[in-house]
Structure 1
Amino acid sequence: MTLDGQPVLETERLHLRPLTGEDREALYAIASDPAVWEQHPIHDRWRREVFDAFFDESLGSGGGLTVVRKSDSAIVGHSRYGEVELDEEGDVIEIGWTFLAPMCWGKGLNHEMKSAMLGHAFAAADVVEFRVGDTNYRSRNALEAIGAVRTERYELERYQGKRVVHLVYAITREAFENGPLA
């Protein structure tokens, strides 16, 4: 089954819509805060040229979403769907590349956003995966809070000559339907 990688999703407080080129400056205003990336493996995404490469990749991916707060129509973040792939567990899709404005942290908006994104993903996939830097404790805690479980898999990359470890977390359709976001 195919997945609409850029749906319009509504939650109580958020509107998620397809990423457009016009979102660049509003998202950079958020991403330019080094605190957003302090635990992230690409810790310098606050730099203009690093952010622009990230943004351009997301824009071209067919899966980028802009997160808008309904109360004031402010752009407050970004997330993205990866491609649906088939593996031994069935159809798998990745959700990631997520960042929210620090003023939104700790207010349940990530839960709300991920609940909508997972609900949409499970229309086409059996499993949703997330990749997160091993030292990105804020994101790891957020994933565990929504019911994602760390798998035994990990991926190694290099960034600026340093080794980067991405842990793979996953949540199944059944775990989602019976978990904290149900």
Structure 2
Amino acid sequence: MNRQPVLEGDRVWLRPLQESDWDALYEIASDREVWAMHPSHDRWQEPVFRAFFDDALAKGGALAVVCKGSGAIIGSSRFQEYDPAGGGQVEIGWSFLARPYWGLGYNGEFKGLMLQYAFRHVGRVIFRVGAENEISRRAMANIGGRLTGETYIAERAAGPTEHVVFEITRESFASGPLAAQFPI
């Protein structure tokens, strides 16, 4: 599985993240409200976001989300933890979107593109969401995510932070809320 594909939808396209995307992404990330409910609520600070951005470039799998209408970068996401064994699994995460695009279906579109692509290669996609992040939990429900009962503890600046694990399987995606727009 190529974790940095180019994917195109009706309103967005995704492409591999590049060092030259720093200014556009940090402009989005510097908005404190983007991170208000996120476990890494300090990610609006330049040194914190720089570490996040550098990690994305170093690990691969990071994608820039680009608005087709304006050509502007409006967010980012990643494919990580790809494991082809036993039917295959990959994680989608580290996603964020500029606030003017919240609640307008952009999250569903870029995640739908990523899921559609992932299910060509794996049978299961997981998402680790901060246990207290109600915005992301609602977004997961909107795209057909199912809580697994698994948890994950991530080290953050404020200390250990609990995450819950959502999953979407190839089968559940094929009959879920994004199936008509993103057939597999």
TM-score tier (shorter)? over 0.9
1:41 counterpart SS class: coil
- Inter-partner Cα distance in structure 2 for 1:9 and 1:105: 20
| Aligned match of 2:8 | 10
| Aligned match of 1:104 | 101
Deviations 1:12-52 (A, max 9, x none): 00011000000011000000001000111111000000000
| Aligned match of 1:76 | 74
The question of whether the paired residues in 1 share the 8 Å contact of 2:35 and 2:41 is answered with: yes
Q: How does 1:2-151 map to 2 (within 5 A)?
A: 3-85=1-83, 90-151=87-148
- Residue 160 (structure 1) shift: 2.9
Structure 2: which amino acid aligns with 1:123? Answer: R
Deviations 1:76-109 (A, max 9, x none): 0000001322566x31100000000000001000
- Inter-partner Cα distance in structure 1 for 2:53 and 2:90: 20
The question of whether the paired residues in 1 share the 8 Å contact of 2:84 and 2:122 is answered with: no
> Number of aligned pairs?
179
Give 5+ residue unaligned stretches, structure 2.
180-184
Change (3 A) 1:169 1:87: farther
Percent of residue pairs identical: 48
1:52 counterpart SS class: helix
Give 5+ residue unaligned stretches, structure 1.
none
- Inter-partner Cα distance in structure 2 for 1:143 and 1:132: 9
| Aligned match of 2:178 | 181
- Residue 131 (structure 1) shift: 0.3
Runs in 1 of length 4+ with deviation above 6 angstroms? none
TM-score (normalizing by structure 1): 0.95
- Residue 62 (structure 1) shift: 1.6
- Inter-partner Cα distance in structure 1 for 2:75 and 2:157: 26
1:83 counterpart SS class: strand
Structure 2: which amino acid aligns with 1:160? Answer: A
TM-score (normalizing by structure 2): 0.94
- Inter-partner Cα distance in structure 1 for 2:132 and 2:4: 29
2:103 counterpart SS class: coil
